[in-house]
Amino acid sequence: MSEALPTNRRHLERIEEVRAGRRPEKVQYPIRIRETRVVRTAMEGAGLLRVTLGGPGTEGFESHSPTEHVKLLFPDPDGSLRLPEPNGNLLRWPRPYPTSREYTVRRYDPVTGEIDIDIAPHKGGLASDWALDVQPGSVVHVAGPPGGLIVPYSYDRYLFVGDITALPAIARSLEELPRDAKGWAFIEVAGVAEETALSAPEGVEVHWLHRGDRPAGTGYALAEAVTAVTVPEGERLYAWIAGEAGQIKPLRRWVRDELRLEKADHDITGYWKRGIADFDDEHDHDHDH
């Protein structure tokens, strides 16, 4: 047994325990607010704009789960920026809640201090308009992550499903899986131009689905492709599914009624909903975290 870690590092031991166990578990870690600077922006395929953040404020940043989120904080309409304040291992948020958008941590490099956030640009989106215009050197405040879902590497197979908004989390998940992992990834994009290079284990089949002219978040092609999967008898499956709330609804039913996965063995999240600017599937902004 290693020496006991200081209180604010005990989560590292817990993460290792969960990773080596049989059931996924959310592990909280100290939540910080950081002032970062934009290092560069670049397209990642035709569908994602990668914003790389850096600067002294990223020192000590932690990211242990490929599906965890940070909040990017934006000024209010009057131009004022209201930030949360440190409160022990949590943050105390001002009321009303500041303007923010949640994004997956695509990559964190502790050596360079760089944090990559991949944003799917869409017309009139607050964060995507900002990301398209932002210049290197610009300041942006980042809150979190508040912890993340730690998934053990003991499953027989893994299933990842999503659209372009879920691609950053799926890409990082595939990168971090053990190289002998088996499973499937289904990603719906507009076309081949939105595909990106993925570092998937050889045993994970990657299926890109092209929706063509169909609007994002519509149609049943994704659900039909995914539900054609056969999980070998007796194998333990972990399923991670995210995307447009209505489009993944049939997959919620499939996981529950057909696969009969236990609650711990799947994570299904509506990342967005057609026609709603700041949709939150869990109706919870972690106000007091």
What is the per-residue pLDDT across 214-242, written as a single tens digit (0 to 9) for each? Answer: 999 999 999 999 999 999 999 999 999 99
- Same-domain check for residues 164 and 195: yes
How far is the C-alpha of 223 from the C-alpha of 231, rounded, in Å? 16
User: Does residue 4 fall inside a structural domain?
Assistant: no
The whole domain housing 113 covers: 9-15+24-148
The pLDDT assigned to 124 comes to 84
pLDDT per position as a tens digit, 49-101? 999 999 999 999 999 999 999 999 999 989 999 999 999 999 999 999 999 99
- The CATH number of the domain holding residue 134 is 2.40.30.10
> What is the predicted pLDDT for the residue at 264?
96
- The whole-number average pLDDT for the span 111-115 is 96
The 10s digit of each residue's pLDDT in 147-193 is 999 999 999 999 999 999 999 999 999 999 999 999 999 999 999 99
> Does pTM top 0.85 for this prediction?
yes
Over residues 255-278, the pLDDT tens digits come to 999 999 999 999 999 999 987 766
8 pLDDT band (50/70/90 cuts)?
Answer: low
d(CA 147, CA 111): 21
**pLDDT at residue 123 in the model:** 82
Domain-located, residue 113: yes
pLDDT score of 1: 41
Are 164 and 204 in a shared domain? yes
Assess whether 281 and 182 both reside in one domain.
yes
The string of pLDDT tens digits covering residues 190-200 is 999 999 999 99
57 and 132 fall within a common domain: yes
Specify the pLDDT at position 237: 98
**3 within a domain of the structure (yes/no):** no
The CA distance from 224 to 248, in Å, is 11
Asked if 224 contacts 143 with a C-beta cutoff of 8 angstroms, the reply is no
The CATH number assigned to the domain holding 242 equals: 3.40.50.80
How many domains does the chain contain in total? 2
d(CA 127, CA 149): 25
Can you give the chain as a three-state secondary structure string? CCCCCCHHHHHHHHHHHHHCCCCCEEEECCCCEEEEEEEEEEEECCCEEEEEEECHHHCCCCCCCCCCEEEEEECCCCCCCCCCEEECCEEECCCCCCEEEEEECCEEECCCCEEEEEECCCCCCHHHHHHHHCCCCCEEEEECCCEEEECCCCCCEEEEEECCCCHHHHHHHHHHCCCCCEEEEEEEECCHHHCCCCCCCCEEEEEEEECCCCCCCCCCHHHHHHCCCCCCCCCCEEEEEEEECCCCHHHHHHHHHHHCCCHHHEEEEEEEECCECCCCCCCCCCCCC
- pLDDT band per the 50, 70, 90 thresholds, residue 288: very low
Summarised one tens digit per residue, pLDDT across range 21-59 is: 999 999 999 999 999 999 999 999 999 999 999 999 999
